[in-house]
Amino acid sequence: MTTQRGEAPDCISLGGTASLFTLTENSGIGAITGTIDGAAYGENTSELTSVGAHSFEYTMYHVFLDKDGSTLRTQDRAVLRTSTEDGASLLEVEYTVVEGTGRFTGYEGTFRSRGWLSTPEGKDAIAQHAVGVVRFAGTICRA
C-alpha cells in the first residue's frame, strides 16, 4: 500500500540471512543482514520434545536489533532435525512478533526461517556450540 511521505508502510516484507552461533545449551546469537541489519539473540523457553526419529520441537524467544536501534521481540516455535551422518542439522523457526520498537512499533505478524546447523547427532545436539546459517522471510503488518 502507498503511504504519504514520512509515514510507515502498513506492511513490511522481512527477508535476509542470519549467521548464528550457540552460546549455551539454551541460547545463541546471530549476525543478520537483510531487512533487519544487525544482530539477534535467541533463547529456548522449553525443553526439546521428540517428535519422531531425530526430530525435536521446542519454544523460544528472540530479540532482533537493527543497526538503527529498532527492535523486534518474538515468541517462537522451532523444529530441529538432527543429522544422522554428515553433522548438519535442519532448523526451522516460526517467529511471532510480540513487540516492536522504532520503525517496527505497532507491527505484528509471523515470519519464518529455515537453515542448517553443524551439530552432532541426537538430542544433545543443541547443547553443543553449533554454528549455522538460516534464511528468513515473511511479512509483518501494522495492527
More confident residue, 30 or 127: 30
More confident residue, 70 or 83: 70
pLDDT of amino acid 129: 76
Checking if the pLDDT of 31 tops 70, the result is yes
pLDDT of amino acid 84: 61
Q: Average pLDDT, stretch 82-101?
A: 88
Grid cell 544433545 — which residue? 124
Point out the least confidently predicted range of 4-8, 20-24, 46-50, 134-138: 4-8
In the numeric block, which cell numbers belong to residue 120?
A: 552432532
Checking if the pLDDT of 3 tops 60, the result is no
pLDDT of amino acid 104: 97
Residue 126 DSSP label: G
CA distance 34 to 79: 23
DSSP string covering 37-90: -EEEEEEE-S--EE-STTEEEEEEEEEEEETTS-EEEEEEEEEEE--SSSSEEE
For 137, half-sphere exposure in the C-beta direction (CA atoms, 13 angstrom radius) is: 3
Span 44-82, pLDDT tens digits: 999 999 998 889 999 999 999 999 999 999 999 999 998
In the numeric block, which cell numbers belong to residue 74?
A: 518474538
Span 103-143, pLDDT tens digits: 999 999 999 999 998 865 555 555 567 889 999 999 999 98
Checking if the pLDDT of 89 tops 70, the result is yes
> Pairing mode, if any, of strands 49-50 and 38-44?
unpaired
